[in-house]
C-alpha cells in the first residue's frame, strides 16, 4: 500500500548516513528557530497577529491590491496583472524583449519556479542566471530546489565542489565551503556586472506605500537590482500586506522562523527604479489563488509567508527529503499547495504526514497545515485517488467495529489464532513486519478481564 511519496522516501532512506545528516541538519535549524522564538516574549502574540492580519488582508485582497497598485504607480513603477503562469511568462518576456535583454540575473523566487519561467525564457533566447548561491548550484546541476529556503541542501560540499570544478573551473579537490562560496562570488560578480536586467521575488508588498520588500542574506537581490539597468519584481497576490505596522510583525517572524536568525542581513524596500535605471516593473500573479480563496477548508494556506519552518520541523520531510514529494514545494506546505494546484497529480504526497501537528505550531502565521492534510485525506475518495485496498480495509474495520458481537468474537479469539485477527492485520499492521516484531495478543481482552475485576471487587 505504498504511495508516490513513500516509494521515493524509501530510496532516500537507502543512504542512511545521508538521511541522518539531513534529519540532523534540519533539526538543527528547528532548534535555532526555537531559541529565537524563546527570546521574544511576545512571540505567540506576534503569531496570532500575523495570522489575523493575513486573514484580514487575504479576505480583502481586492482593496489592498488596488491600493498597492495605485501607490506603486504613483512611485513610478509599472504594474502588470497575470491570471496564470502562461500570461506571467509572456509578460516577463515581453518586458525583456522591449528592453532587448540578453541576460537576466535573478534572486530566489518560488513564484518563477511555480510558473517554470526559466525554461520559458531560455527557450526564447534569454540567458537566466540564478544568483542565490543555493539556486545557482542547482541551476548548474540542472535540478529543482529540494527546500524553499535551502534549495541545494540535498548536495554535500564534495558534490558542489565537483560541480564547480566542471562548471566554474574551481581548483581540483578543493571542496572547502568557504572556498567554493568565494568561487561562486567571483563568477556571479561577473554575471551581475554584465546582466541587462535583474528580477526579484517579493517577500511582501506594502499596500499603503507601494513598497516591494525583499529579504536576503546574501545581498544577491540587491546586487541584481543595483547594477543592471532594469528591475522586474514578481509577487503572488497573497503577498500584499496593509502597511508598515503589519510589516513589522512579519519581519520579526520571518527570519526567526526560517533560519533561526533575528533578521535576514538585508531587508530592501523598493519603491521605484534607481535614477540611472529604467522604470521598475511589478508583475502580480494569480495562478489559482483567487480560486483557492473559495475553498473553505484550505484557503488559509494563502497566509503562508514561505519561511520553510514547517519543512524543518516535519519529521517526515527530514527523513524523506524534498525530492520525495511530487510538487515543487515539499513538506507540509507543499502537500497542501500541491493538492490545491492539482489533486489528481499530487495525491501521492498526502500520506507523508503522521499528523503530529508540529508544523502548525512552528508556522509563524498559524496555517493549520496538519489539520488540512487530514482534510485532504477525506477528499481522496472523491478525487478518485484513494487507495482501494485502504478503502476496503476501512470499510471492513467499520463493519467490525459497529457490530460488537463480531468485534468481541474477533478479539476474544485473537490469542487462539496464533496470528493477528484479520481486522487488525488488514488495517495494516502487516507491513510492519519489515521493521517490527509482532505484538503478542493476551489470553483475554479487557472486556473479558473486566468481568473478573468486578467479581474480585464484589468478593471483597
Min separation Cβ 104 and other proteins, Å: 16
Min separation Cβ 289 and other proteins, Å: 8
The β-bridge partners of 167 are none
Look at the alpha carbons of 434, 385, 330, 322 in this order and tell me if their dihedral is positive or negative.
Answer: positive
Whichever of 345 and 430 has its CB closer to other proteins, that residue is 430
The x, y and z cell numbers of residue 230, run together, are 532594469
Whichever of 123 and 248 has its CB closer to other proteins, that residue is 248
Cα separation, 172 vs 29, whole angstroms:
31
Q: Is 396 exposed, middle or buried (0-12, 13-18, 19+ CB in 10 A)?
A: middle
The x, y and z cell numbers of residue 98, run together, are 522591449
The answer to whether residues 7 and 323 touch, using CB atoms and an 8 Å cutoff, is: no
Whichever of 125 and 215 has its CB closer to other proteins, that residue is 215
Whichever of 223 and 337 has its CB closer to other proteins, that residue is 223
The answer to whether residues 68 and 309 touch, using CB atoms and an 8 Å cutoff, is: no
Whichever of 96 and 350 has its CB closer to other proteins, that residue is 350
The contacts of residue 341 (CB under 8 Å, 6+ apart) are 288, 327
Residue 148: name the closest of 331, 337, 351 by CA: 331
Min separation Cβ 83 and other proteins, Å: 5
Min separation Cβ 173 and other proteins, Å: 15
Whichever of 7 and 125 has its CB closer to other proteins, that residue is 7
Min separation Cβ 23 and other proteins, Å: 7
The answer to whether residues 215 and 253 touch, using CB atoms and an 8 Å cutoff, is: no
Whichever of 127 and 159 has its CB closer to other proteins, that residue is 159
Min separation Cβ 350 and other proteins, Å: 8
Look at the alpha carbons of 131, 103, 267, 108 in this order and tell me if their dihedral is positive or negative.
Answer: negative
Min separation Cβ 322 and other proteins, Å: 14
| DSSP H stretches of helix in 59-115 | 61-75, 85-98, 110-114
Whichever of 38 and 100 has its CB closer to other proteins, that residue is 38
Cα separation, 7 vs 26, whole angstroms:
22
Half-sphere exposure of 38 (CA within 13 A, CB side): 6
Phi and psi at 179, nearest 5°, equal: -60, -45
Cα separation, 208 vs 152, whole angstroms:
36
3-class secondary structure, 148: coil
Min separation Cβ 109 and other proteins, Å: 16
* Residue ranges of E strands in 119-255: 127-130, 197-200, 204-206, 211-216, 231-236, 240-241
Whichever of 20 and 125 has its CB closer to other proteins, that residue is 20
Min separation Cβ 347 and other proteins, Å: 10
Min separation Cβ 17 and other proteins, Å: 13
Cα separation, 53 vs 250, whole angstroms:
10
Whichever of 160 and 333 has its CB closer to other proteins, that residue is 160
Amino acid at each position: 500500500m505504498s504511495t508516490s511519496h513513500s516509494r521515493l522516501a524509501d530510496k532516500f532512506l537507502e543512504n542512511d548516513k545521508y538521511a541522518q545528516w539531513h534529519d540532523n541538519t534540519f533539526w538543527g535549524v528547528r532548534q535555532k528557530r526555537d531559541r529565537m522564538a524563546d527570546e521574544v516574549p511576545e512571540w505567540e502574540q506576534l503569531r496570532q497577529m500575523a495570522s489575523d492580519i493575513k486573514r484580514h488582508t487575504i479576505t480583502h485582497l481586492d482593496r489592498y491590491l488596488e491600493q498597492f497598485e495605485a501607490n506603486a504607480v504613483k512611485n513610478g513603477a509599472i504594474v502588470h496583472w497575470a491570471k496564470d503562469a502562461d500570461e506571467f511568462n509572456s509578460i516577463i518576456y515581453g518586458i525583456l524583449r522591449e528592453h532587448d535583454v540578453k541576460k537576466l540575473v535573478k534572486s530566489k523566487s518560488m513564484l518563477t519556479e511555480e510558473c517554470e519561467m526559466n525554461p520559458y525564457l531560455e527557450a526564447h533566447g534569454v540567458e537566466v542566471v540564478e544568483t542565490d548561491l543555493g539556486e545557482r548550484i542547482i541551476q548548474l546541476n540542472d535540478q529543482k530546489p529540494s527546500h524553499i529556503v535551502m534549495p541545494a541542501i540535498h548536495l554535500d560540499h564534495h558534490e558542489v565542489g565537483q560541480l564547480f570544478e566542471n562548471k566554474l573551473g574551481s581548483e581540483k579537490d578543493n571542496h572547502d565551503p568557504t572556498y567554493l562560496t568565494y568561487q561562486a562570488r567571483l563568477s556571479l560578480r561577473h554575471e551581475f556586472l554584465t546582466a541587462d536586467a535583474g528580477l526579484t521575488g517579493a517577500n511582501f508588498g506594502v499596500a499603503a506605500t507601494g513598497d516591494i520588500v525583499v529579504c536576503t542574506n546574501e545581498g544577491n537581490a540587491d546586487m541584481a537590482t543595483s547594477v543592471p539597468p532594469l528591475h522586474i519584481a514578481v509577487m503572488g497576490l497573497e503577498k500584499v500586506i496593509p502597511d508598515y505596522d503589519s510589516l513589522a510583525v512579519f519581519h520579526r517572524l520571518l527570519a526567526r522562523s526560517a533560519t533561526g536568525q533575528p533578521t535576514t542581513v538585508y531587508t530592501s524596500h523598493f519603491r521605484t527604479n534607481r535614477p540611472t535605471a529604467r522604470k521598475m516593473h511589478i508583475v502580480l500573479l494569480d495562478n489559482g489563488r483567487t480560486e483557492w480563496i473559495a475553498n473553505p477548508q484550505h484557503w488559509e494556506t494563502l497566509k503562508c509567508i514561505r519561511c520553510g519552518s514547517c519543512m524543518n520541523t516535519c519529521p517526515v520531510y527530514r527523513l524523506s527529503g524534498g525530492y520525495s514529494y511530487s510538487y515543487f514545494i515539499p513538506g507540509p506546505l507543499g502537500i497542501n499547495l500541491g493538492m490545491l494546484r492539482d489533486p489528481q497529480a499530487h495525491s501521492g504526497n498526502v500520506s507523508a504526514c503522521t499528523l503530529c501537528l508540529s508544523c502548525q505550531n512552528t508556522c509563524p502565521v498559524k496555517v493549520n497545515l496538519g489539520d488540512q492534510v487530514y482534510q485532504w485525506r477525506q477528499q481522496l475518495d472523491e478525487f478518485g485517488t484513494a487507495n482501494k485496498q485502504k478503502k476496503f480495509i476501512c470499510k471492513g474495520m467499520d463493519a467490525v467495529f459497529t457490530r460488537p458481537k463480531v468485534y468481541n468474537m474477533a478479539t476474544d479469539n485473537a490469542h487462539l489464532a496464533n496470528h493477528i485477527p484479520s481486522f487488525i492485520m488488514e488495517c495494516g499492521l502487516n507491513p510492519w513486519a519489515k521493521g517490527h516484531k509482532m505484538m503478542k495478543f493476551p489470553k483475554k481482552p479487557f472486556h473479558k478481564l473486566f468481568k473478573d475485576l468486578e467479581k474480585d471487587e464484589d468478593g471483597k
